[in-house]
Amino acid sequence: MKDLIKLLGKPLKFEEAIEYFGDKLPVTSKEFYKISEEYKALAFTVSGYSRIQVLNKFHEVLLKAIEDGTTMEQFRKDMNEFLETKGYTGITSFQADNIFRTNVQTAYAVGHHKQMTDPTVMKLRPYWQYDAVNDNKTRLSHRAMDGRVYRADDPVWDTWYPPNGYRCRCGVRTLSERQVKQQGLKVESEMPRAGVVNGVFVNILPDHNFNTNPAKTPFKPDLKDYPESFKKAFNKRQTSKPK
């Protein structure tokens, strides 16, 4: 979304985002990729780190950032102080931006989804429009989605609800029937497949591992085939939740 840079730069209390990210379970990358695609949104991992203590710290500091509105720079500072005491090299600015932006953007996007799907909002603004930033950092497949309009309940959003890649800045805006007519917008109903963007042929697909809607994944996975540590962490989280 075009307002994401502003969101990440100033304090914002967003209860839905806090609840979503707080429920994520830290797991190692190896375990993360054993989890079925539809439930990856329930897990949290950071590439390059295998100790749960470290992953828990990443999760803790990111959750604090979402709760208190701290910046990416503060996130990096807090994490590097911790990592260096544990004998790790601190994360770079690029790593910090990637980790911070992807996780915070996802949490805010889930919170935004809950607000947009409120029955009253859905009645008044039944259409959604994909909103890419459209600068030189925007991926061509994401640029190909920019401006496309679908009904809010269209299955396309099960695949294309942002973020649709690491450091993705895309978002979704709601539209009323009147706005769609006034702006002469076409309401689509088919999943986009391919197109030409800036003279380049593009397969219109989200990035790998970003083709699901995290806001629509209930926190009730079938644990039968999941890594043991994920099962234990999930069961512990469930028993510790207030009744």
Q: The whole model's pTM is what?
A: 0.76
What average pLDDT score do residues 194-211 get? 90
**Sequence ranges of the domains in the chain:** 4-113+222-240, 120-206
Does 5 score more than 60 pLDDT?
no
pLDDT digits (tens, 9 = 90+) for 47-87: 889 888 899 999 999 999 999 888 999 999 999 999 999 99
Contact 164/170 with Cβ under 8 angstroms? yes
Does 227 score more than 80 pLDDT?
no
pLDDT band at 163 (very low <50, low <70, confident <90, very high): very high
